[in-house]
């Protein structure tokens, strides 16, 4: 089964707040194996722009450090699973941890 993950990044690692990311890592998984990794420039940061953008790229799951409640709701409305409170690591490592059921989520690092 194919799944597509999005990870907001800065300097090649998870960005603490997804709205401040420089690029989205798009990691494609088939049969629980990472098969492809690309980077996309994000659209302008306006309410709802990231969920629409990532949905248009077939994203199923977003892994983030911090994300406001409204943004989380918009991702869910776009059928994108949200994992927040994740500590910085490389996109491939984060996706592998998710696949291995070892991804630790914690306190949402965003308060809006």
Task: List, for residues 75-91, the tens digit of each pLDDT value.
Answer: 999 999 999 999 999 99
All structural domains of the chain with their residue ranges: 2-99
Fold of 2-99: Nucleotidyltransferase; domain 5 (3.30.420)
Strand positions, DSSP E, the chain = 2-10, 13-14, 23-30, 33-40, 61-63, 81-83
Residue 9 near residue 25 (C-beta atoms within 8 A):
yes
Cα separation of 69 and 91, whole Å? Answer: 23
What is the model's pTM?
0.92
Cα separation of 95 and 111, whole Å? Answer: 25
Q: Which of 20, 26, 16 is nearest to 59 (CA)?
A: 26
For residue range 2-30, list pLDDT tens digits in order: 999 999 998 889 988 777 788 999 999 99
Using DSSP, state whether 15 is helix, strand or coil: coil
């Amino acid at each position: 089964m194919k799944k597509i993950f999005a990870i907001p990044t800065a300097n090649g690692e998870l960005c603490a707040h997804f709205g401040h990311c420089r690029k989205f890592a798009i990691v494609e998984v088939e049969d629980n194996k990472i098969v492809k990794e690309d980077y996309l420039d994000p659209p302008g940061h306006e309410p709802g722009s990231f969920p629409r953008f990532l949905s248009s790229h077939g994203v199923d799951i977003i892994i983030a450090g911090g994300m406001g409640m409204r943004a989380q709701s918009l991702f869910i409305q776009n059928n994108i699973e949200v994992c927040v409170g994740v500590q910085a690591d490389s996109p491939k490592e984060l996706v592998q941890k998710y696949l291995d059921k070892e991804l630790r989520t914690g306190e949402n690092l965003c308060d809006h």
